[in-house]
Amino acid sequence: MTSKKVQNITIGAIFVAILIIQSFVPYLGYIRILPALPSITIIPLTVAIAGGLLGTGFGTAMGLVWGVLSLILAYTQPGDMVSLMLFQNPFIAIVPRVAAGFAGGMISLAAKEESRRQKTFIFGLSGLAVSLINTLLVITLTSLFFANNPAALLHNLGQSTSQAPLIWILLVALGMNGVVEAIFTGVVTPIIVMPLRRFLSKKSR
């Protein structure tokens, strides 16, 4: 096994460990702002960094790990009724996370080593995409799965008397979390990824 493969396996194990810690240790990966709504999560940052460091496959794999951990968390430690109802569904828990990790890794491939400004933009866009794609797909899949019986979900969102379409209610209720997550992830991703890529590049020479 080459040193590059050993390095990648080591980095992968570290990222999996980070995701597990963020998922199950309170306030490290999920920060609760409003009791009735899902937490704001900084885990998209971890997935965006993974994709930025080692590309699409690695970002997708970390997205899958995140999704599986979300599913396990919903069954073992649900923080609120909305998270319980959403993320006990494997499609809602896993598909958005995998898609977000894939997209983040794909965008990161466009970063060129010779342009610092371009890399900053690309990695920032990657972080933004990971967070927004996850949020929008969670909202879209939730609206599809609850389209025929939205009453219970709407009740837990405090919108039981609303006549608006479910997807619009979800955009309003969950959109604020999504915007905060996306801005945070988009800003911080290049700050972390760029020096780490330089370090790993020197190590692999």
Helix (H) or strand (E) holding 14: helix 3-24
Supply the DSSP symbol for 33.
S
Whether residue 186 is predicted with pLDDT greater than 70 in this model: the reply is: yes
Token pair for 101: 């990790």
- The pLDDT assigned to 205 comes to 59
Average pLDDT over the chain, rounded to an integer: 83
Phi, psi of 30 (to 5 degrees): -125, 125
How many angstroms separate the CA atoms of 68 and 92, rounded?
11
How far apart, in whole angstroms, are the C-alpha atoms of residue 140 and residue 70? 17
Per-residue model confidence (pLDDT) at position 160: 59
What spatial distance separates the first Cα and last Cα of the chain, rounded to whole Å? Answer: 16
Helix (H) or strand (E) holding 204: none
In this prediction, residues 99-120 reach a mean pLDDT of 89
More confident residue, 83 or 105: 105
Global pTM reads 0.86
Q: Is the pLDDT of residue 119 over 60?
A: yes
Dist. CA 35–CA 40, nearest whole Å: 11
Q: How confident is the model at residue 156 (pLDDT cuts 50, 70, 90)?
A: low
Q: What is the mean pLDDT of residues 175-200?
A: 88
Query: 15-20: long-range contacts at Cβ-Cβ below 8 A with a sequence spacing of 24 or more?
Result: 15/46, 15/49, 15/50, 15/62, 15/65, 16/62, 16/65, 18/46, 19/43, 19/46, 19/47, 19/62, 19/65, 19/66, 19/69, 20/69
Question: Which H helix or E strand runs over 50?
Answer: helix 43-54
State CA 63 to chain mean position distance: 7
> pLDDT tens digit string along 17-62?
999 998 888 767 666 655 555 567 889 999 999 999 988 999 999 9
Please name each of the domains of the chain with its CATH number.
Answer: 3-203 (1.10.1760.20)
Cα separation, 11 vs 41, whole angstroms: 22
